[in-house]
Amino acid sequence: MRRIILATLLSHNSSAVWRLAMQKAIVFLAMLVLGWCLPGCSTTYTIKVNGYTDPGTQAQVRPGAFFCVMENQDAKNPLLDKEIKEKLNKLLLTHGCPVTTFEKADFYLFYKYGMGEPKSVVTTPDYYGGIGWGVGYGGGGWGWGGPAFYLGMPLTGYSSGVTPLYDRWLQLTVVEGPAYRIQKLSRPVWVGEAHSLGASSDLRTVLNFLLVANFKEFGKNTGKAVTKEINAQDPEAVSLTP
């Protein structure tokens, strides 16, 4: 009888130790999954960029050229416009283009920006999914029951709604310095257009990503609209955040 009681106690102790070890393993795996998922949950801006160059001019935008960013005389918000000008100066320096005075510039950089009227878009059903682990007891003892994946839909059925989407845009124009200084000719050397359609109407924030996307094709002829995916954690975009 003592042997049976001792064996039973040892069995219970082993099961308790095993369950504790499994719980620790499950917590560790859950932390790993969170580590994989959380970075992917940050906002990503999809931006279309079009770059144009003038084949009829010899002047080309190149690293080392001196730039002067011109003030936007038509700005509705002069303080926001001042922020954008400072960000353009920072990006020029980052991309190897020193910023100088009006009298010494090889090129002048003009800029425009804005946001179109919202367009209503019907949202898709709210599907959801997940991943999980579990432990259970069966005829052979305790065991690990995961991982498992699932996909579902709300019990109320399809969930739809109307979401307003805004066209956020930015245009950069580079003109030759000497011609503009002497003759006031503003013939473009390069024009870069960036558009992003999204739910955020906070143009002040979205402009950071439009600027970064435009500068990824700065001075280039893209030949067509190219797509840029700029994550909220992008180092250049983060550096432009006040």
Are 110 and 180 part of one and the same domain?
yes
- Rounded average pLDDT over 134-149: 48
- What's the pLDDT tens digit per position in 39-84? 445 689 999 999 999 988 777 888 899 999 999 888 999 999 999 9
Question: Is 161 contained in some domain?
Answer: no
Please count the CA atoms within 13 angstroms of the CA of 239 that sit on its side-chain side.
13
- What's the pLDDT tens digit per position in 101-134? 999 999 999 999 999 988 876 655 444 455 454 4
- What's the pLDDT tens digit per position in 156-199? 555 557 889 999 999 999 999 999 999 888 889 999 999 999 99
What is the reported pLDDT for 68? 97
Q: Which residues pair with 166 in a beta bridge?
A: 198
Question: Is 24 contained in some domain?
Answer: yes
Question: Is 65 contained in some domain?
Answer: yes
What is the reported pLDDT for 5? 46
Residue the block writes with tokens 């065991």: 143
Beta strands 119-122 and 162-176, pairing class: antiparallel
Question: Is 159 contained in some domain?
Answer: no
Question: Is 84 contained in some domain?
Answer: yes
* C-alpha span between 124 and 80 (Å, rounded): 35
Are 48 and 24 part of one and the same domain?
no
- Which helix (H) or strand (E) segment is 19 a member of? helix 2-40
* C-alpha span between 58 and 189 (Å, rounded): 9
Are 99 and 188 part of one and the same domain?
yes
Are 176 and 146 part of one and the same domain?
no
Strand, helix or coil for residue 241: coil
Beta strands 128-132 and 135-138, pairing class: unpaired
Are 13 and 85 part of one and the same domain?
no
* C-alpha span between 228 and 157 (Å, rounded): 35
* C-alpha span between 171 and 63 (Å, rounded): 20
Are 187 and 143 part of one and the same domain?
no
* C-alpha span between 59 and 67 (Å, rounded): 13
Question: Is 162 contained in some domain?
Answer: no
What is the reported pLDDT for 20? 58
Range of the domain at 18: 2-39+124-152
Are 105 and 64 part of one and the same domain?
yes
Are 139 and 189 part of one and the same domain?
no
Name every residue whose Cβ is closer than 8 Å to that of residue 26 and which is 6 or more positions away in sequence.
133, 135, 146
Burial letters for 119-154: b for 16+ Cβ neighbours within 10 Å, e otherwise?
A: eeeeeeeeeeeeeebeeeeeeeeeeeeeeeeeeeee
* C-alpha span between 82 and 169 (Å, rounded): 17
Domains of the chain: total: 2
Are 187 and 146 part of one and the same domain?
no
Are 78 and 106 part of one and the same domain?
yes
Question: Is 79 contained in some domain?
Answer: yes
* C-alpha span between 83 and 115 (Å, rounded): 17
Are 115 and 223 part of one and the same domain?
yes
Strand, helix or coil for residue 86: helix
- Rounded average pLDDT over 17-45: 55
Question: Is 99 contained in some domain?
Answer: yes
Are 116 and 129 part of one and the same domain?
no
